[in-house]
Amino acid sequence: MAIFVNENTKVIVQGLTGGQGKFHGLRNRAYGTNVVGGVTPGKGGQDVEGIPVFDSVADAVKATGADASFIAVPPKAAAAAILEAAKAGITFIVCITEGIPAQDEAKVFNTLVRDYPKVRLLGPNCPGIISPGKCNIGITAGEIAELPSAKGPNVGIVSRSGTLTYQALYELKQQGIGVSTCVGIGGDPVPGTSFVDCLAEFQNDPETHAIIMIGEIGGSAEEEAAEFIKANVTKPMSAYIAGVTAPAGKKMGHAGAIVSGGKGTAQGKMDALREAGVQIGLNPTEAGSLMAEIVKGLK
């Protein structure tokens, strides 16, 4: 099994005719993802290397039965694209777009909660999701993900940082450790999917035997995850928190990665996760090594 997406997921790409949408959409298809269509208003009836293009998400869903969307459109169009997908019946939306105003993100998130409770948004400003060997939606390079084994143990990954998502995947690949699903939730202040959402899915997934979590400074998502882990997660975990040396009040790359008022520090997050029983690496490689030791104990 895997979480959120698998080999049966039917994906459309909103923005398929644009540079980024075409590049990553075709890479996703080459990986084996079932990319069934693209959406660009005014370009319906065209195709991108055999992938049909539709004028609207509603048209694409009607023609293909798509249930997932990969959104690769500019920031000013992203909020409308997310809501268009939800209205058309898409239940899993991945938005990689960076630079969406936080106010727009908050409005979209609350609209989804109110009007489309069965829709899950991943992102914005995220690398996407990969269930190795089954489905890859977003910008993650499939070749750095080790396939899960039938016997296991397999590891689930959830990360706020895109780049560190890739490193976590590669650290496990170097150790020959299979990955059930890797989820990049993004580093913006209002993510559609949280650590807790992913941890709950991994806890219930029989193919996931251990979990790596990659967090960073800013906000309270890691502390909330720690509380959830203490109460609900029985699978062993390792983690890394980026931003130990970040100065207070300075945004570090991600819109949500800022320490303010003494809250959101890396140390506070590490302490909370340690108290919840999570093994903490002081760098991404150490988090991977800790997971390798955990996996040895599970075999």
Tell me what pLDDT residue 257 has: 47
Quick one: what percent of the chain has pLDDT higher than 70?
94
Active site residue 254: yes
User: What is the domain count for the chain?
Assistant: 2
* Cα separation, 194 vs 171, whole angstroms: 23
Copy the structure tokens of residue 197: 């959402």
pLDDT score recorded for residue 2 = 93
* Per annotation, catalytic residue among 254, 255, 290, 294: 254
My answer on whether 51 and 96 are in the same domain is yes
pLDDT confidence of residue 251: 52
DSSP 143: G
- Within a domain: 35: yes
What's the CATH number where 273 sits?
3.40.50.261
**pLDDT value of residue 254:** 53
Q: Are residues 97 and 177 in the same domain?
A: no
**pLDDT-based confidence at 269, cuts 50/70/90?**
very high
- 112/206 same-domain check: no
Residue 131 lies in a domain: no
Tokens 């207070």, residue located: 248
Q: What is d(CA 176, CA 196) in angstroms, rounded to the nearest whole number?
A: 27
In degrees rounded to 5, what are phi and psi of residue 120? -110, 125
Could you list the residue range(s) of the whole structural domain that residue 268 is in? 141-298
Does residue 233 sit within a domain? yes
Contact 20, 138 (CB under 8 A): no
- The verdict on 289 and 169 lying in the same domain is yes
- The answer on pLDDT for 248 being more than 70 is no
Residues 115 and 149 in one domain: no
Q: How confident is the model at residue 45 (pLDDT cuts 50, 70, 90)?
A: very high
Query: What pLDDT, in 10s, does the model give residues 161-191?
Result: 888 999 999 999 999 999 999 999 998 889 9
H helices of the chain, where?
Answer: 19-31, 57-64, 75-87, 102-115, 162-174, 195-204, 221-232, 266-275, 284-298
Q: Which residue in the block uniquely carries the two structure tokens 């390079």?
A: 141
The verdict on 146 and 294 lying in the same domain is yes
Q: Indicate which CATH number applies to the domain containing 111.
A: 3.40.50.720
Has residue 166 been placed in a domain?
yes
Domain annotation covers residue 128: no
pLDDT at 143: 96
User: Is residue 178 located within the same domain as residue 100?
Assistant: no
Asked whether residue 133 is domain-assigned, the answer is no
- Convert the pLDDT of each residue in 193-229 to its tens digit: 999 999 999 999 999 999 999 999 888 899 999 999 9
Q: Which pTM value belongs to this model? A: 0.94
Inside any domain, residue 2: no
Q: Are residues 180 and 114 in the same domain?
A: no
Same domain, 266 and 147: yes
Mean pLDDT across 79-100:
97
Residue 168 lies in a domain: yes
Q: What is the average pLDDT value for the chain, to the nearest integer?
A: 93
